[in-house]
Amino acid sequence: MQLILCMLTLRHMAENEQPASDEVRVLDPRSLRGLAHPLRMRLLGTLREYGPATASQLADRLGESSGATSYHLRQLATYGFVEDAPERGKGRERWWKATHRGTRMSSDKFLAHPDPAVRGAVNTVLHEVATQHTERMSTWLGTLHGWSEEWRAAWDISDFVMRLTPELAREMRDKVHELIESYREKEVDRDTEGSAPYRVHLHAFPRDED
């Protein structure tokens, strides 16, 4: 399983597998523990999605205190997830930006890690990702009526169940990832008329027979 946080991608990774580009941060046990906090994950995802911001701006967007966002931004910087954005800074307030486009980790490796702190950290990350996905889907459903007819015809909520082996499941998942990545070559400019950020959430897992 792999995880990318705006992009946060969780999946099994082979020992010799490399990320698609240096824009993706591969987590190790130390950086995983540094990220494993709900507010830190939301701060990082917000900076990746909306660009550089100050602690006060992030506090307003996320409904948190500026003291809390400032503290957790400094912690994210300690682990290399964010850094200063001096080109945006004016006056005394500090601007922050994400250092990578996405984050990737091998969750199965961390779930079996001998250190209970690492196992706890990966569980925190997994549950927070699931929570954020649910919240964002609920937000979309609540605002669906305000979008254009073209966009209302371009969204999707589906589920499929089929009987597969682990090998076939990995093959299908990887092909879906490849298809999504292929559309990065077709991304349009921000000022393209009618365009909008388009979010894709992937959830795939086996279920019990009963």
Beta bridge partner(s), residue 44: none
Single-letter amino acid code for the residue at 122: V
**Domains plus CATH for the chain?**
2-158 (1.10.10.10)
Per-position pLDDT tens, the chain of length 210: 445 554 555 544 334 333 344 588 999 999 999 999 999 999 999 999 999 999 999 999 999 999 999 999 999 999 999 999 887 766 678 999 999 988 988 878 898 999 999 999 999 999 999 999 999 999 999 999 999 999 999 999 999 999 999 999 999 999 999 999 999 999 999 999 999 999 999 999 999 988
pLDDT number for residue 11: 45
Rounded distance between C-alpha atoms, residue 51 and residue 48, angstroms: 6
Rounded distance between C-alpha atoms, residue 143 and residue 41, angstroms: 24
What is the crossing angle of helices 55-62 and 38-50, to 10°? 110
pLDDT number for residue 19: 37
Single-letter amino acid code for the residue at 19: P
Rounded distance between C-alpha atoms, residue 172 and residue 178, angstroms: 10
pLDDT number for residue 5: 53
Which of 81, 79, 46, 80 shows the shortest CA–CA distance to 61?
46
HSE on the CB side for 72, CA within 13 Å? 23
Single-letter amino acid code for the residue at 191: D
Rounded distance between C-alpha atoms, residue 192 and residue 38, angstroms: 34
Beta bridge partner(s), residue 9: 3, 104
Structure-token pair, residue 106: 């091998």
3-state secondary structure 138-181: HHHHHHHHHCCHHHHCCCCCCCCCCCCCHHHHHHHHHHHHHHHH
What strand order describes the sheet that includes 82-84? 53-54, 95-98, 82-84
Rounded distance between C-alpha atoms, residue 65 and residue 197, angstroms: 27
Return the beta strands (E) in 59-135 as ranges. 82-84, 95-98, 102-105
Instruction: Answer for the pair 136, 199: CB distance below 8 angstroms, yes or no.
Output: yes
